[in-house]
Amino acid sequence: MTVDPTPDVTVTVIVYNDAARLPRAVESVRRQTHANIEIVISDDHSTDATPEVARALAAEDPRIVYLRLAENSGGCSAPRNRALEIARAPYLMFLDSDDELPERAVEVLLAAHRERDLDFAMGQVQRVRVDNGRRSLWMPHLVRERRTVDGIEADPRLLFEHLSTSKMYARAFLDRHGLRFPEGIHYEDQLFSAQAYCLAKAFAVVPEPVYRWYIEPYAAGDTASISNQRHKLSNVRDRVHVQRLIDAFLAESGHESLREDKDFKFLKHDFRMYAGDLPYRDDAWHAAFADIMAPYLDTLAPGAFARLPRPERVVLQLVRDRRPADVREAARGLGHTVAPRRLTTDPATDRTYWGAGIPSSETARRELDLSDLEPDTRPFFSALLRHEITDITPVRSAAALDLTIRTYDPALRLPVGPQRATLVLTPGRRRLTVPFRLSPVRPGVYEGTVRLDLAAARLPLQGFEGVRHPVLRLTHQSQTHSAILLAPLSFPPVTMQTPHHTVTAEPEGHDPGRLQLHWHPVGPTATLIAPAVHHLATPRVRRATRLATNLIRLK
């Protein structure tokens, strides 16, 4: 292959101890539709087979340059910056070794630069879940349409899209401002991107995919990404430290007007990532977390809190008030409209507050005020209820569980007396309903026991492979209320055998912590029937079936 002496774009692939995935990342750059590129593999002093793999790749393609750092930097910034020093192209992109570039990424971003003088161009990021292959777009509402943005003040929402890898930068722009990745810190993308947004006079948004980001949400140990190391208090410190650096940059660069938007982004995205984990942290961790987080929360713009949904504001305030037990209770409801166990109404003001008492401070009264949720009058189908499993007992010699369930009705929306309830489960799109009774324990609290017989679930002929979470359904005055069922935060997994499946009951282990049931086909269902049905479900067979059906109907 003949190499152009001046490549149009340099793509830097950073790598550390990732010999297995590096070839996939590099190949995604090699097969770009725009071929006049330079590929710099920047190795952060790997100790595995990465050097041998990288040198072999460079020997195959003269466009590839292998750069090895003299010592490990422990982050992404140094390998990117060292590659910047040797990059020969006027436009620059960055790729992590565990990700890929879609085939037209370089082409579409370079075309945007050539249409107008830009500081950078950005596009869509495709997210791929490694555990289940599920695909989605990262912040799709921000990159839905093609446009040129004349300064970040024109659309501060873009601060949410803080990835450095979804963009192609003009080298002249980076050099003019001395813009480089901050070394020695984590979450470097957030600071770099905030600076790039603020310094850019014009940048383009294109709606085509330009980056494929592989997500391993439950990776553990050294293989986990920085975002998946939220259990480490050092991770919390790093994230807050970067936010303070961004705040200082906004003030020094004359972009203080962006502060509320940036603070809202921190609360809605960065803090929210930790909030889903808070039910699983012990008191000592909560205390240390509050010591790090609460002082920073006190510096944020009040308007940023006001833009959040009320349940998120409640969790934030409980963290600031250092109430770990209440934090765990409130955080389990985020995103699922789960009520607290108690509500308190102030007779003097008729305001309704989260929890068992009237908050003592003005700030807490403002943030824990649930009056705007109208708990007393909202339609029953959206009433604030809470269902918790207090005991799980496997039934001997049966694929069944006895569940003790406690329902909290803090706004007293349910009629007095026993309640007819239904447990609903839908594996394989076939509904299993189990009626039972919830009996009053005290005003606003009900309890009942239900046997969930998993062998009674009607499954498709080919079986069902997947995870489902039971929900609890109540009916009142012709309105139906369905809500998630919170399980104990930890209990030993239970595996049961049905005629054609094994079913494992376990705690969800993340987010609200629902009861999780995983079906896995076994025997002839798995080895014969499922493959046969899968074969018959090919597009060609489906088309033939539809054609035959239409012909029959015409007759």
d(CA 489, CA 183): 38
- Tell me which of 202-211, 216-225, 259-268 is least confident: 216-225
The residue type of 41 is: I
Residue 542 has pLDDT above 80, yes or no: no
pLDDT at position 2: 60
DSSP readout, 225-267? Answer: -GGG-TTSHHHHHHHHHHHHHHHHHHHHTT-GGGHHHHHHHII
Task: List, in order, residues 6 or more apart from 495 with CB less than 8 Å away.
Answer: 502, 503, 504, 505
| pTM for this predicted structure | 0.89
pLDDT at position 545: 45
Residue 549 has pLDDT above 50, yes or no: no
The residue type of 516 is: Q
CB 470 within 8 A of CB 422: no
Q: Which helix (H) or strand (E) holds 120?
A: strand 120-129
CB 401 within 8 A of CB 392: yes
The CA dihedral of 150, 156, 160, 165, to the nearest 10 degrees, is 20
Determine the average pLDDT of the residues in 243-252.
97
304-330 pLDDT, tens digit per residue, is 999 999 999 999 999 999 999 999 999
3-state DSSP percent of the chain in helix, strand and coil, to 5: 35, 25, 35
Compare 251 and 3 and report the one with higher pLDDT.
251
69-100 pLDDT, tens digit per residue, is 999 999 999 999 999 999 999 999 999 999 99
Determine the average pLDDT of the residues in 522-533.
80
Specify which of 227-241, 412-426, 519-533 reaches the highest per-range mean pLDDT: 412-426
Residue 448 has pLDDT above 90, yes or no: yes
Q: 280 by DSSP, 3-state: which? A: helix
Task: List, in order, residues 6 or more apart from 166 with CB less than 8 Å away.
Answer: 122, 123, 124, 125, 138, 210, 211
Residue 530 has pLDDT above 80, yes or no: no
Residue 225 has pLDDT above 60, yes or no: no
d(CA 429, CA 330): 31
Residue 477 has pLDDT above 50, yes or no: yes
**Residue 305 in tokens:** 């809190």
146-165 pLDDT, tens digit per residue, is 999 999 999 999 999 999 99
Residue 538 has pLDDT above 80, yes or no: no
Across all residues in the chain, what is the average pLDDT? 93
pLDDT at position 379: 95
Positive or negative CA dihedral for 279, 281, 282, 285?
A: negative
- Give the confidence band of 417 by pLDDT, cuts at 50, 70, 90: very high
Instruction: Count the Cβ atoms, other than its own, within 10 Å of residue 267.
Output: 20
pLDDT at position 522: 92
CB 485 within 8 A of CB 469: yes
Compare 427 and 539 and report the one with higher pLDDT.
427
pLDDT at position 231: 85
The residue type of 215 is: I
22-61 pLDDT, tens digit per residue, is 999 999 999 999 999 999 999 999 999 999 999 999 999 9
pLDDT at position 227: 57
Domains defined for the chain, CATH in brackets? 9-217 (3.90.550.10), 233-373 (no CATH), 382-522 (2.60.40)
pLDDT at position 85: 96
Q: Which helix (H) or strand (E) holds 39?
A: strand 37-43
d(CA 246, CA 224): 25
Determine the average pLDDT of the residues in 456-473.
92
97-137 pLDDT, tens digit per residue, is 999 999 999 999 999 999 999 999 999 999 999 988 889 99
Compare 509 and 233 and report the one with higher pLDDT.
233
- Give the confidence band of 218 by pLDDT, cuts at 50, 70, 90: low
Burial class for 491, CB neighbours closer than 10 Å (0-12, 13-18, 19+): middle
pLDDT at position 305: 98
**Residue 317 in tokens:** 């305030």
- Tell me which of 127-136, 226-235, 494-503 is least confident: 226-235
d(CA 474, CA 438): 10
